[in-house]
């Protein structure tokens, strides 16, 4: 991701429906974790600009953030996160010893990595026996679009592919579900419209056979406040449902898995 995308993320994480709703969903799943592992020590791998650190920190344990981007970590500090809890490094080679954390989180990280299995193996290594892995990834390769390109994604996931890699890394899956389900239809419509627009002659500037494609942009559509709040409520409803049932479709996949003891 470039600096402008980090800046956009930093500005939207406290207001935009996708981020607020996802924080609610993650909070519900963390509630399941802390019932069995109170006040866990947590490592958020790929913490970005730090929007999830406060959510994770609300469960009583120490929370460390790691990201390969110094720019992203600087935004974490702007949020007030102490520098001693922030580390610059890569998910495929975590700068921590074995059996160190009770929880490792990876929120929309694996799709950025050429070797996602290496990152899962590293999460397994730094977790204590019985520790938890909580992650999200974007769903459906057919939903690939400009948003993925702007964010530097390398793939979107099928459920079976993600499940196979998590199990190959040595985890036992406790919960695997789709999320952002109710809002999937408008997301599909918007992504489809963007693809049509991106390939239109007026956008490509195809006069005299020359293409002038602009850089890909993320799909952050700034909504009216009331509609944004409505979308937040929809995702909060999903957050209430997900600990109880597994949703059958959605724009995102969420997995809660555990390392063996």
Query: Tens digit of pLDDT for each residue in 208-243?
Result: 444 444 566 666 788 999 999 999 999 999 999 999
Residue 145: the pLDDT is: 85
Asked if 162 and 168 count as a contact pair (C-beta separation under 8 A), the reply is no
Residue 211: the pLDDT is: 45
Residues 158-185: what's their mean pLDDT? 97
Nearest to residue 134, comparing CAs of 6, 261, 8, 252? 252
Nearest to residue 29, comparing CAs of 238, 251, 261? 238
Per-residue pLDDT tens digits for 128-167: 999 999 999 999 999 998 878 888 899 999 999 999 999 9
Per-residue b or e along 160-185, where b marks 16 or more CB atoms closer than 10 Å to that residue's CB = eebbebbeebebeebeebbbbbbbbe
Which of 2-6, 30-34, 106-110, 231-235 is the least confident region? 2-6
Distance of CA 117 to the CA centre of its chain: 16
Q: Could you give all domains of the chain from N- to C-terminal order, each with its CATH number?
A: 3-259 (3.40.50.150)
Tokens 């694996």 -> residue: 110
The answer, as to whether pTM is greater than 0.75, is yes
Asked if 191 and 257 count as a contact pair (C-beta separation under 8 A), the reply is no
């Amino acid at each position: 991701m470039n600096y402008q995308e980090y800046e956009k993320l930093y500005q939207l994480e406290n207001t935009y429906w996708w981020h607020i709703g996802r924080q609610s969903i993650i909070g519900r799943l963390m509630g399941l974790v802390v019932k069995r592992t109170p006040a866990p020590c947590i490592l958020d791998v790929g913490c970005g600009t730090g929007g999830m650190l406060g959510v994770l920190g609300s469960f009583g344990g120490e929370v460390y953030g790691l990201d390969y981007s110094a720019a992203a970590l600087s935004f974490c500090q702007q949020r007030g996160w102490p520098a001693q809890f922030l580390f610059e490094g890569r998910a495929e080679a975590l700068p921590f010893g074995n059996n160190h954390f009770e929880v490792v989180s990876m929120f929309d990280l694996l799709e950025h990595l050429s070797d996602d299995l290496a990152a899962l193996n590293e999460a397994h290594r730094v977790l204590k026996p019985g520790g938890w892995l909580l992650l999200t990834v974007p769903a459906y390769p057919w939903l690939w679009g400009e948003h993925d390109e702007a964010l530097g994604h390398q793939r979107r996931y099928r459920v079976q592919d993600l499940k196979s890699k998590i199990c190959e890394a040595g985890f036992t899956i406790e919960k695997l579900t789709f999320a952002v389900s109710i809002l999937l239809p408008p997301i599909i419509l918007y992504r489809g419209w963007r693809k049509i627009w991106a390939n239109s002659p007026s956008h490509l500037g195809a006069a005299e056979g020359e293409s002038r494609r602009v850089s890909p942009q993320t799909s952050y559509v700034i909504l009216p406040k009331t509609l944004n709040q409505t979308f937040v409520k929809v995702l909060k409803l999903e957050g209430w449902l997900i600990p109880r049932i597994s949703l059958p479709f959605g724009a995102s996949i969420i997995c809660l898995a555990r390392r063996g003891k």
